[in-house]
Chains A and B, each alone.
Chain A
């Protein structure tokens, strides 16, 4: 890289990556729980993709029944700690809270859920669920992300023997590798993995299906297979200069930051992040917090079209990120190492995005972070016979989560093109029901 930003002191890193939303104290949690109206058939529960019985778990906080509260939460969502910290609650449960209609602040559902889950972890995660007696059937799961973990945990309650095959060294998927440290810590995700292991789930990490174990063997060993592989292929910009030193994929960058070894992560003095989704924002704010002097977000459309949530956009603004809207990257300029990003201005003509001829401008940068999305690994999935893929997503039955190959089920980002952890958690759980019904021929 041409100009690596000077490293910060450990204290500065700690401060920059400290939690944005600190935990509630016991007293504050109790007061907040008591503020909950305990709605009947509450809209927050409907808004939660996993339909956690929110008013019930909050009521249990108010009565001091944290154990019962944890069970209420986990019975709907196996990765509830991650969700408590990483869910876009403004868009989901808290956004649906009836207090909005009353003109008052919504109940801090995310923080209350975290309060319960923190307690549960602090109590060393006592067993709240009893796996059913072994039913003699076994399920293999590809990928130990939230979808795979949720599917595995739920399957144990039906009595399945479950093995998860995970290519990475650490289980947890994006929960472990892809969430900004100021939102949650890697250890939170690893604790959830531990909890699910205790249900009897075997997790084989560092095992790549198709390489370390063949699909044939997988199919022979297991009565059904769940695909929870997410979106592992970063999308390319398809412009010249992408191979230069200083060009990185957002998820690789974010993964390095979640490891908390900040000193070892090089960041340019001036950084361009291409894209305007939530991952792009993570990458931009993390670059800034690592010491980049200036960070630019470059997006070919306008603010209104940004897919990042409002609160993410606000965070980026607070961090002093500069936004280039209506800027289409044309090429990365440099001699082996990035020197600048050249863009063209765009405008919408008859509803279509057009670049404006001869509107080239250069943003001098030392680093380019690509955050224009992730795709499924089609080559990998092509090894599964008769697996139908459409629009870059694995096609499943919306109720059973069964793919076009009856032995295979799928859930999470690889079937929805990239949504929230909470959606993956729900998919995994529902797929477990689909698998159970399929194997035991239930309708």
Chain B
């Protein structure tokens, strides 16, 4: 029997799927609706300092006819009062005792104010607290959100103010708008955080209107940067989550988010170390109902693979992450085009010819033009494989037997320093690697 239950830094939920702190978790009404269809938890839309919003808060990037590959927003934290939010948290928790309700908080950088809101949140019955150090718009201009997340010292200080009075788990939510995500992560750890949430949204401008020169979307004649989310940011989030997961100085449970739209996305984050996963853009596109397939798909996958608990797979892909210097330089792969599957679109040809290593020829065969890899010149870059529109038509065929291995880090120890191109060429030549 598959058991999807999780315990993320002491916060438990029947499955790992939480709604992220965002417009979908603005009210008790919405969160109750989400719980009814199966969401395991919800991080309440950030409660705190009084705010006032503008119109046209969302902008989106559509790609090739697909809607919302990325979603940008400048909606601020909850514009409802702290009292109402806390009251609804209490009511919702009573109705749904088994679900995780985490209160996202953001107030002015004042120890007393933080102490006050943390205590009131605990009194309301929340299962945990998430500190919003991520919001890149509006709040940051007032010294909150990413203005905190971008300065490790502030991050530690405010986390300490919270953890010194909190009796429930505290997650710190990080902004990706930094050069190295590990520094604010370590700062949170230093402030005694119980877990890390990441990533918050990425600073972006969605576009410029070519008729009016207005920033898209325009808010009464002005636009500006907002926080970007959705499928487009998933690879960025995967990397940042893996960096936090791999950092021995942090070693904290992770609640991951950033472009998670389905069970496959969720599993990838879990394989990179996440305990719970949070979703926003996908529900803003399709509604709460998508969780049904997330639960169903994950369960089916686990059954097929023979797993019964997410603990069995958490972080299992981390060992496969390596720095470039530790990758095998002698692993040899060559592209192979299956002429039987080829539809003769010649996209592999033009990609290789114009932008890679000029090793695909158009060969006249039986009245058709057949793109054919000149194996001696193929460097195994994989571009043709990526552009080919046919499944399994181009494959990267392993040509070495895996017996030989040399990493860059090993190689530089063996070759005379400072490294010369001639010595490197000799090594390549010895192993049949032709650079052209």
Please state if B65 and A34 are interface contacts (CB–CB under 8 Å).
Answer: yes
Which of A30, A33, A98 is close to B344, meaning CB atoms less than 8 Å apart?
A98
A40 touching B65 by the CB < 8 A rule?
no
A: interface residue count bin: 10 to 19
- Is the beta-carbon distance between B390 and A102 smaller than 8 angstroms? yes
Query: In the complex the two chains form, is B343's CB within 8 Å of A40's CB?
Result: no
B347, CB-defined interface residue at 8 Å: yes
B344 touches A101 (CB 8 A): yes
Which residues from B are CB-within-8-Å of A43?
Answer: 344
User: Would you list which residues of chain B between 322 and 354 have a CB under 8 Å from chain A?
Assistant: 342-347, 349-350
With the chains together, A37 CA to B369 CA distance in Å? 17
Contact partners of B346 in chain A: CB under 8 A? 39-42
B64: interface (CB < 8 Å): yes
Number of interface residues of B (CB under 8 A): 14
**Who on chain A is nearest to B66 by CB?**
A34
List residues of A (305-351) whose CB comes within 8 Å of B's CBs: none
Interface string of B380-391 (1 = CB under 8 A from A): 000000000110
Contact of A40 among B64, B342, B345, B389 (CB under 8 A): B345
Interface string of B52-78 (1 = CB under 8 A from A): 000000000000110000000000000
User: Do B64 and A42 touch across chains, with their CB atoms under 8 A apart?
Assistant: no
Main SS of chain B's interface residues? loop
* Segment 37-96 of A: residues with Cβ below 8 Å from B: 37-43, 62
CB neighbours (8 Å) of A31 from chain B are: 65
Q: Taking CB as reference atom, which chain A residue is nearest B346?
A: A40
- Is A99 part of the contact surface with B, judged by Cβ < 8 Å? yes
* B390, A40: Cβ atoms closer than 8 Å: no
B343 touches which of A30, A38, A102 (Cβ 8 Å): A102
Q: Contact between A42 and B65 (Cβ–Cβ < 8 Å)?
A: no
Tell me the bound Cα distance from A40 to B362 in angstroms.
11
Q: How far is the CA of A31 from the CA of B65 in the complex (A)?
A: 5
- Measured between beta carbons, the chain B residues less than 8 angstroms from A102 are 343, 389-390
Known A-B contacts A98-B343, A99-B343, A101-B343; A37 and B350 likewise in contact (beta carbons under 8 Å): no
**Interchain CB contact (< 8 A) of A39 among B64, B65, B347:** B347
A41 and B369 contact, CB distance less than 8 A: yes
Q: Which of A42, A62, A99, A101 has the most CB of B within 10 A?
A: A101
CA distance A241 to B390 in the complex (A): 61
Q: How long is the Cα–Cα vector from A99 to B344 in the complex, in angstroms? A: 10
Chain B residues within an 8 Å CB radius of A98: 343-345
Query: What per-residue 1/0 map shows which CB atoms of A1-42 lie under 8 Å from chain B?
Result: 000000000000000000000000000001101110111111
13 intermolecular pairs with C-beta atoms under 8 Å apart: A33-B65, A34-B64, A35-B65, A37-B389, A39-B345, A39-B346, A39-B347, A40-B346, A42-B346, A62-B64, A98-B345, A101-B343, A101-B344
- A-B pairs, 5 with minimum CB distance: A101-B343, A40-B350, A34-B64, A39-B345, A40-B346
